């Protein structure tokens, strides 16, 4: 029982094991390069092969376009096998004409789980994924008188990049594609976009315009002792993320997408109503799924422009200056409240609580100022009958009219400040509703409304 369970776990682990390992090797023109893979079930796929000649030591004029490119010679000897050795001057025809230099090779080791090697199969790419396909019998032969077809499908808003790493389906004497009886075709949404039968340097690469691509190997012979094709595919672009709860997608293109919350809602992570995300390669620059939109906790808010907030701020400070002539020990309260409303780095008060705290602190200071004025009146000595007639006008102005005018002015200023705050709140609510209703798709937010 335990042995059987262990075997099941081992088989499942081996099937789940899938990897693509990139390896670099380099050496001189006559050095033996060893291309190997750690796992016996992996095969080699050559990505790049570049030879850099030493100009100072060769008597001939080197060329970057030799009769046989080093990558073609590497494919013939190493592609599709688990390990191999390669000597440039021996395995690549006419390589001795380039003189001395250095060969650099970049290849990948591919596990069996990353290779699709059966014809007429459909491959679904889930997000940022890649893989390889080759014909049955690669790299020894390819066969049958029918079409070997692979269908690649990516998520919406993504495209597919197809790279022909190795192709050997025709004799070397054929030079023109029209002479090929066997060929490789690449179709984008049913439209033929590329056909070839000869290797190219750099490798042939096709990026689709849609999310559906077909790769077809057309053969007119029953059995051909040539390698066939080895193709790499990968998804390009980012799939469209799902809209957050109580939110909707405004627009998206190949590089960015914008999401917005419905009325009276904001993203729960930063409190903003709009979120713009950018596509980097095949991934978005944020964690998915997007955070949901939640109801705004603070429905009462001042206008967000620093200019209008400064008007309110200085109106409050004007009230403080009217009481400055009185010596009050409680002026520190309003000073603390007004300090919270100071403008720092172009930003105004944090929220309406600071404004209201400053306003009610002003009212308390006004009451203190009035009480101190009354105490000063009580501390004055009593006047005689003769003094009353002489100082009647002066006392009327200093003791009665001045405090009355001061109190009336303070109440008037308080009324103006409250009225202005009310108008700003009303204007802000109207503009906020117009802005949201102008860009809101009703079909996406009517479902989310409570």
Looking at the structure, give the CATH architecture of the domain made up of residues 19-110: Sandwich (2.60)
Give per-residue pLDDT as tens, 313-365: 555 555 555 444 444 444 444 444 444 444 333 333 444 444 445 555 555 55
Note the pLDDT of residue 367: 56
Residue 414, pLDDT score: 86
* Cβ-contact 160, 130 below 8 angstroms: no
**What is the reported pLDDT for 281?**
74
Q: What is the mean predicted confidence (pLDDT) over 402-414?
A: 84
Q: Which of 86, 110, 105 is nearest to 38 (CA)?
A: 110
Q: Which two tokens stand for residue 13?
A: 């682990």
| Average pLDDT of every residue of the chain | 74
Do 19-110 and 114-236 have matching folds?
yes
Distances (CA, A) of 167 to 36, 197, 309: 21, 7, 70
pLDDT digits (tens, 9 = 90+) for 51-103: 888 865 544 544 444 556 888 899 999 999 999 999 999 998 888 888 888 99
pLDDT higher than threshold 80 for residue 213: yes
Tens digit of each residue's pLDDT (9 = 90 or more) over 419-442: 888 888 888 777 766 665 555 555
Taking alpha carbons only, the member of 230, 234, 237, 282 closest to residue 107 is 230
The pLDDT of residue 111 is above 70: yes
pLDDT at 355: 47
Q: Pick the residue with more confidence: 447 or 46?
A: 46
Q: Has residue 34 got a pLDDT over 90?
A: yes
Residue owning tokens 């019998």: 137
Q: What is the pLDDT of residues 228-251, one digit of tens each?
A: 999 999 988 888 888 888 899 998
How far apart CA 146 and CA 131 sit, in angstroms, is: 24
Q: Give tens-digit pLDDT for 245-284.
A: 889 999 888 788 999 999 888 998 888 889 999 988 778 8
Task: Name the more confident of 54 and 307.
Answer: 54
CB 135 within 8 A of CB 229: yes
**Per-residue pLDDT, 260:** 92
- Cβ 443 vs Cβ 355: under 8 Å: no
What is the residue extent of each domain of the chain? 19-110, 114-236, 247-296, 306-439
pLDDT of 361 reads 52
Could you give the CA distance from residue 387 to residue 390 in angstroms, rounded to a whole number?
5
Fold (CATH) for 114-236: Jelly Rolls (2.60.120)
Decide if pLDDT at 391 tops 80.
no
Q: In the structure encoding, which two tokens stand for residue 137, read together?
A: 């019998």
Q: Give the model's pLDDT for residue 435.
A: 61
């Amino acid at each position: 029982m335990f042995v059987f369970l262990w075997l099941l776990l081992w088989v499942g682990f081996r099937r789940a094991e899938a990897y693509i390992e990139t390896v670099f090797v380099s050496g001189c023109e006559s050095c033996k390069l060893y291309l190997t893979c750690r796992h016996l079930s992996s095969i080699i796929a050559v990505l790049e092969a570049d030879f850099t000649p030493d100009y100072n030591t060769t008597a001939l004029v080197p060329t970057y376009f030799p009769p046989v490119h080093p990558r073609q010679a590497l494919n013939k000897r190493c592609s599709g096998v688990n390990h191999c050795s390669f000597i440039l001057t021996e395995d690549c025809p006419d390589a001795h004409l380039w003189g001395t230099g250095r060969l650099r090779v970049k290849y990948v080791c591919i596990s069996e789980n990353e290779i699709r090697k059966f014809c007429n199969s459909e491959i679904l790419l889930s997000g940022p994924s890649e893989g390889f396909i080759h014909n049955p019998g690669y790299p020894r032969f390819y066969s049958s008188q029918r079409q070997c077809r692979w269908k690649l499908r990516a998520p919406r808003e993504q495209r597919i990049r197809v790279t022909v790493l190795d192709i050997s389906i025709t004799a070397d004497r054929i030079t023109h594609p029209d002479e090929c009886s066997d060929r490789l075709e690449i179709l984008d949404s049913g439209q033929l976009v590329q056909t070839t039968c000869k290797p190219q340097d750099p490798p042939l690469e096709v990026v689709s315009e849609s999310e559906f691509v077909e790769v077809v190997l057309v053969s007119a012979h029953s059995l051909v002792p040539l390698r066939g094709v080895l193709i790499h595919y990968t998804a390009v672009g980012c799939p469209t993320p799902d809209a957050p709860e109580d939110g909707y997608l405004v627009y998206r293109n190949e590089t960015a997408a914008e999401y917005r919350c419905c009325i009276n809602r904001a993203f729960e992570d930063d409190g903003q109503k709009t979120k713009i995300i950018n596509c980097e390669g095949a991934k978005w620059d944020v964690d998915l799924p997007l955070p949901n939109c939640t109801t705004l906790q603070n429905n009462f808010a001042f206008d967000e422009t620093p200019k209008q907030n400064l008007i309110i701020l200085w109106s409050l400070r004007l009230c403080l200056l009217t009481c400055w002539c009185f010596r009050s020990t409680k002026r520190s309260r309003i000073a603390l409240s007004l300090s919270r409303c100071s403008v720092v780095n172009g930003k105004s008060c944090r929220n309406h609580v600071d404004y209201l705290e400053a306003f009610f602190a002003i009212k308390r200071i006004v009451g203190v100022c009035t009480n101190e004025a009354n105490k000063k009146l009580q501390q004055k000595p009593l006047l005689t009958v003769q003094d009353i007639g002489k100082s009647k006008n002066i006392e009327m102005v200093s003791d009665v009219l001045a405090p009355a005018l001061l109190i009336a002015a303070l109440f008037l200023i308080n009324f103006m400040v409250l009225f202005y705050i009310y108008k700003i709140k009303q204007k802000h609510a109207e503009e906020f509703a117009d802005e949201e209703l102008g860009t809101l798709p009703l079909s996406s937010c009517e479902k989310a409304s409570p």
